[in-house]
Chains A and B, each alone.
Chain A
Amino acid sequence: MSAPLIEVRDVGRQFRVRSGLFGQPKRVVAVDGVSLSLKPGEVLGVVGESGCGKSTLAKVILGLLEPTAGEVLIDGKRLAGLDRRERAKLIQPVFQDPFSSLNPRRRVRDIVGMPLEAQGEATAGEVRKRVEAMLERVGLDPSMGERLPAQLSGGQRQRVAIARALVMRPRIVVCDEPTSALDVSVQAQVLNLLAELRREFGLSYLFISHNLAVVEHVATEVAVMYLGRIVEQNDAETLFRDPRHPYTKALLASVLTPEPKLGIPETGLGDTMPDPTNVPPGCRFHPRCPVAIERCGLEAPATQRKAPALVECHLATIT
């Protein structure tokens, strides 16, 4: 059993938001008591609806946001104790929107080379060589290095973002909705590229997405988040075949696979929407849960664990 590359220990993150000039500040609980680990070579998919805290969790793991509770360990070392250079060699991000995550005024080769230059360990010639090799590896002609992001298509920009993440040879890549802004044919190209690169460079991915079909395809393990907590986790194969939590079931039922005869699914979730400024008492999913009983509104369910499975529901058990 190898030591985990990422270990998230009981991490919480809250925000204070004020609505209007004189509004009372509200507490938003974005992430609440999350523990998870990513082992070498794994792809951990994190799924959930918008506002469930999955992107906040990604930012905490990347060190872009401080957790308000708990701690994160990267490769056995406390994230808070790592300086930026050490961190950059271990973990790199690829974000959803390649339009806003690339500096529009810098050329592609400078964007990709910047992390190397910031490390200050390579000569200009070496940087150029490594940038060209990396561009070629992600399927971009080295001549693209002279272009500006605006001169590239969405898929090409995402390849630049991947090249920038990998040029440091990190061990972990955090992908936050990496293909959500792309067309399906381009999405397939980018997903295939990420899979090849993982094998080639021995990478591990934390893969955040709202698209369950994509997660099913890429992930080895999946965590389902709801209102800041992981309500179910398992190896991907088991989770998709045998979901235990009613929320996971509803999420999976909502996926529209391209099968014409199946019609539009009934989610059974009702019309209440989750609100992170007002987390319900008891089980946080109970107002939307199609099978909730009285106890669910009164008492928060305990976390049942039996690695790799985890579930938080009064009515579910792990076998």
Chain B
Amino acid sequence: MSALLEVSGLEISFGTLSAVRGASIEVRRGETHCLVGESGCGKSVTALAVMGLLPNNGLRHAAALRFDGQDILGLDEKGMSRLRGDRMAMIFQEPMTSLNPAYTVGSQMAEVMVRHRGVSKRAALDRAAELLARVRITSPEMRLGQYPHQLSGGLRQRVMIAMALMCEPELLIADEPTTALDVTVQAQILRLLADLQKDLGLAILLITHDLGVVARTAHRVSVMYAGEVVESSPVEQLFERPMHPYTRGLLSCVPVPGKIRRDQPLGSIPGMVPHVTSGFEGCAFRQRCALVRPDCAGPIARRKPEVDHDYLCQIAPEDMATS
């Protein structure tokens, strides 16, 4: 099946800082692709670049950026805003900053649809109530008249999701949608997203730093480090046979109940993420990597140990396994 969203060779820079360096990602219909990495790895700006929402000082280049086969790289702001909120929608970590505090839930939700579909306000409000019920918000009619501050964090995130679904988007980009929520609410929201995906055939690009969220929701995973996708594979392969030393390090850092003895230290990655500026060469992980060799400072090969699984490292799969 062809990809709904195709990002190839994406480069984003802010002045001399290279935030994203040659990232390629594909999201297929009905599939959740998780973009995982630590703060500053470039995962959120990647999402913003796809939506055409980079801040003014951000520069975007790409070999290709296609949505449903259509090139969106050359699209002007008018063309992009026609897509945004309509065929592709985005939800953010903190719904309080993305919902307008001065408008009711109903009027914010209706606006999207009135604008993109030209329907009447009444029809849009009906649709909004239907969607609020769909995301399992009780008494939806009453909620339409409420302001964002009157809702709990979990409810606000549900409103955000319902709002994103107003125009039946094909692609949903979710940036840390459950990070600010309690574990119990997180499970409920993720389950809701998975159900909606099944029913509507949504393609989801989910951005997270949480490997637990990745394991439980993703079909496919891309691991980002210092602006590059250092490893990409179907979810089970990534957790069973991680290849890149960074992916391996990251997995060893997570306490897993029942797996790591409590008096044993957790794995950790020494050092810090380097500042990557234009003209940077070699592997950005090499200063922190236990397997570093002299050729890590040169151009790095992308290796493919299995179908659909690739990683960016000088060390071949067979040498990785023994180390």
B partners with A: yes
> A188 contacts the other chain (Cβ, under 8 Å)?
yes
- Which residue of B188, B211, B235, B236 is within 8 Å of A184 (Cβ)? B211
Contact with A along B143-185 (1 / 0, CB 8 A): 0000000001111000000000000000000000000001111
A260 touches B (CB below 8 Å): yes
Contact, CB under 8 Å: A50 / B182: yes
Within 8 A of A (CB), among B242-263: 249-258, 260, 262-263
A273 and B154 in contact, given A183-B209, A212-B257, A257-B215 (Cβ under 8 angstroms) = yes
Residue-wise, chain A 136-172 has the 8 Å CB interface mask toward B (1 for contact) of 0000000000000000011100000000000000000
Cβ of A178 to closest chain B Cβ, rounded Å: 14
Which chain B residues lie closer than 8 Å to A256 at the CB level? 183, 186-187, 190, 210, 212-213, 215-216
With the chains together, A256 CA to B235 CA distance in Å? 14
Once the chains are docked, how many angstroms separate the CA of A236 from the CA of B182? Answer: 21
| Contact residues in A for B154 (Cβ distance below 8 Å) | 273
In whole angstroms, how far apart are the Cα atoms of A155 and B252 in the complex? Answer: 18
Given A184-B209, A212-B257, A261-B236 in contact, is the A267-B184 Cβ separation under 8 Å? yes
Q: Is B123 an interface residue (CB 8 A)?
A: no
* Interfacial chain B residues near A186, Cβ < 8 Å: 38
- Shortest A142–chain B CB gap in Å is 18
CB of B251 within 8 A of CB of A269, answer: no
Q: Which residues of B contact A125 (CB under 8 A)?
A: none
**A248-286 Cβ-contact flags toward B at 8 Å (1 or 0):** 001101111111111111110101010000000000000
User: What chain B residues lie within 8 Å of A262 (beta carbons)?
Assistant: 215-216
B39: Cβ under 8 A from any A Cβ: yes
Task: Using C-beta atoms within 8 Å of the partner chain, give the interface range for chain A.
Answer: 35 or more
In the complex, A192 has a CB within 8 A of chain B: yes
Q: Which of A153, A154, A255 contacts B257 (CB 8 A)?
A: A255
Given contact pairs A184-B38, A213-B255, A192 touches B184 in the complex (Cβ within 8 A): no
Q: A188 near B184 (CB under 8 angstroms)?
A: no
Q: Is B120 an interface residue (CB 8 A)?
A: no
Query: For residue A261, which residues in chain B have a CB less than 8 angstroms away from its CB?
Result: 236
Of B9-17, B64-72, B266-274, B292-300, the one touching chain A: B266-274
Q: How many residues of B contact A (CB 8 A)?
A: 52
B29 located at the interface, meaning its Cβ lies under 8 Å from any Cβ of chain A in the complex: no
Considering the complex, give the chain A residue whose CB is closest to the CB of B182: A49
Least Cβ–Cβ distance between A116 and chain B, in angstroms: 29
Complex alpha-carbon distance, A253 and B191, angstroms: 13
Q: Considering only CB atoms, which chain B residue lies closest to A183 in the complex?
A: B38
Known: A49-B184, A184-B38, A210-B182. A258 touches B249 (CB 8 A): no
Of B187, B255, B265, the contact of A264 (CB 8 Å cutoff): B187
Contact, CB under 8 Å: A217 / B266: yes
In the complex, the answer to whether B269 meets A250 with C-beta atoms within 8 Å is no
Report how far A271 CA is from B235 CA in the complex, Å: 30
Given A183-B39, A186-B38, A188-B253, 9 new contacts (CB under 8 A): A184-B254, A188-B267, A218-B262, A256-B212, A258-B215, A258-B256, A259-B256, A260-B236, A264-B194
Cβ contacts A to B, 29 pairs, < 8 Å: A49-B183, A49-B185, A50-B182, A155-B272, A183-B209, A184-B38, A184-B209, A185-B268, A185-B269, A188-B255, A189-B268, A192-B266, A212-B257, A213-B256, A214-B255, A216-B262, A217-B255, A217-B260, A218-B262, A240-B258, A256-B186, A256-B210, A256-B213, A257-B212, A257-B256, A258-B211, A260-B215, A260-B236, A265-B216
